[in-house]
Amino acid sequence: MITGKEGLIQALIEAYLMEKGTNEFYAQASLKSIDKEAKKTFKELSDWEERHMEYIQFLYQSVQDDRDIKGFEEFSNKTASPVTEAGIPVKELEAKLEQYNFIDDMGALIIALEIEGKAYNLYRKLSESAVDSNARVVFKEMMEQELKHVDYLKKLRIRLAETS
């Protein structure tokens, strides 16, 4: 688990793996959701996490001056990502998914808000405590991205509450 004591390269790798874990969870949740709006919400969240992964990959390869995209893809495919960006193990979230069996999109939003809120807090703490100043910048950018997700989900929750 990422601590903020890592150098930039290790911080990018750890952040990438957390984003990957979150992406995989949201993709799985989208497939298992019964409600079409919940399915759509999780799919959109999965797409966002995919863009975060691409951003982190770009940073990693730029810093390393590494243009070997195939090598990075091999790394991504072979490397497990057992923890989400919220610091919650993927298996724990999958168990929640089984428990709730999302009948409606409000259930999907509750879990997504928990993940994104915890991810925001994690990146905030890391941006404040990172030893490496470049890693601090990356964590701050990721924190801002998570805040956008939280804001989006809150607005969606209000719209859902108004229509029900």
CATH number for 28: 1.20.1260.10
In this predicted structure, the answer to whether residue 118 has a pLDDT above a threshold of 60 is: yes
pLDDT per residue over 120-135, tens digit each?
998 898 899 888 888 8
Where on the phi/psi map is residue 99: left (φ > 0), alpha (ψ -120 to 50), or beta?
alpha
Query: Based on the structure, what is the number of domains in the chain?
Result: 1
Flag whether 17 is in a domain.
Answer: yes
Q: Look at residue 61 in the predicted model and tell me its pLDDT.
A: 86
Is 137 inside a domain boundary? Answer: yes
What stretches of the chain show up as alpha helix (H) in DSSP? Answer: 8-32, 36-64, 69-78, 90-100, 105-129, 133-163
pLDDT tens digits for range 14-59 = 889 988 999 998 998 888 887 788 788 889 999 999 999 999 998 8
Q: Is residue 3 part of a domain?
A: no
Domain that holds residue 135: 8-163
Q: Is the pLDDT of residue 151 over 90?
A: yes
